[in-house]
Amino acid sequence: MHIPVLKKEVIEYLNPKPNENFIDATLGFGGHTRAILEKIKPNGKVLGIEVDPEKKVEMERLELVHDSYSNLERIVKEKYDGILFDLGFSSYEIEKSGKGFSFQKNEFLDMRYSGEGLTAYEIVNSFSEKEIEKILREYGEERKSRKIAKAILRERKKGKIKTTFQLAEIIKKEVKGGRIHPATRTFQALRIKVNDELNNLKKGLEQSLKVLKKGGKIVVISYHSLEDRIVKRFFKENNLNILTKKPIRPSLTEIRENPKSRSAKLRAAKI
């Protein structure tokens, strides 16, 4: 079951009122949207944007669009009262999508949300050592990026690296110990690169200013420092009315009930 992260706080900062209209830029399975729809009864609606064409959600007063939030201006035809970006990827992506997001399941190295464009398989098997090292360092903040890149180049000479388990084993031989699985940062880096997540976030945030009414709210939940820095900088550079002096973190109770929420940070602002 998908549990929406920081649901109470999202509602607090979006502050939805009856008959207002909102955008859920990362609909997923609609956990946050259900809570918003409840608050904007009887006539308020939510425009839900979801990049994964396999995810289909039906709710009264929800308009679902399969697209990327980096195309907000093209998608949105009117002004809205607020927008939510939840940048986490759901348990579904790890457990059921079959797209190779996790080193815990043996799947083909795909990692594309939309099913279009560059795959992780192509990066691992055709990019140069320097390019792979740069991706791991910049998008995964992986301190052993050079060592891992060298190992990937060495192993692919023996044959194509096709699966998540193959890649994870290569990394485990190079990275010992630590609090998290040795492959965590590499898999994060590849996912970000494949889906161009950081550039898409910048585009989505910039365009959100054009699709909101005056006084409209922007709420963003990020899960690693690269995303959080982009959001923080965007709010400051655009002189927004920042509603969260410090990022809001999940309570210990929420983390116990939903361990995947532990790295979440919520920032909110008003235009």
The angle formed by the CA atoms of residues 255, 257 and 260, to the nearest 5 degrees, is 55
In this predicted structure, what is the pLDDT of residue 55? 85
Does 123 have pLDDT greater than 90?
yes
pLDDT given for residue 7 in this prediction: 96
For the segment 71-100, the average pLDDT, to the nearest whole number, is 88
Per-residue confidence band for 179, with pLDDT thresholds at 50, 70 and 90: confident
Mean pLDDT of 63-67: 96
92-195 CATH fold: DNA polymerase; domain 1 (1.10.150)
Residue in 189, 263, 217, 195 with CA at minimum distance from that of residue 81 = 217
pLDDT over 90 at 90, yes or no: no
Local confidence band at 114 (pLDDT 50, 70, 90 cut-offs)? confident
Q: Where are the domains of the chain?
A: 7-90+200-270, 92-195
pLDDT at 52: 87
The answer to whether residue 29 scores a pLDDT higher than 90 is no
pLDDT mean over 241-251: 97
**Identity of the amino acid at 13:** Y
| Mean predicted confidence (pLDDT) in 177-192 | 92
- Examine the pLDDT at 122 and tell me if it is beyond 70: yes
Confidence band for 1, pLDDT divided at 50, 70 and 90: low
Quickly name the fold that domain 7-90+200-270 has. Answer: Rossmann fold (3.40.50)
What is the share, in percent, of the chain residues with pLDDT greater than 70?
99
The yes-or-no verdict on residue 255 having pLDDT over 60 is yes
How large a percentage of the chain has pLDDT more than 90? 87
Q: Compute the mean pLDDT over every residue in the chain, rounded to the nearest whole number.
A: 94
CB of 187 within 8 A of CB of 105?
A: no
pTM for the structure as a whole = 0.92
Q: What pLDDT does residue 91 have?
A: 67
pLDDT of residue 39: 98
Query: Is the bond leading into 42 cis (omega within 30 degrees of zero)?
Result: yes
Average pLDDT over residues 116-120: 94
In this prediction, residue 21 carries a pLDDT of 98
Question: What pLDDT, on the 0 to 100 scale, is given for residue 180?
Answer: 87
pLDDT for residue 97: 77
Give me the pLDDT at residue 115, please. 82
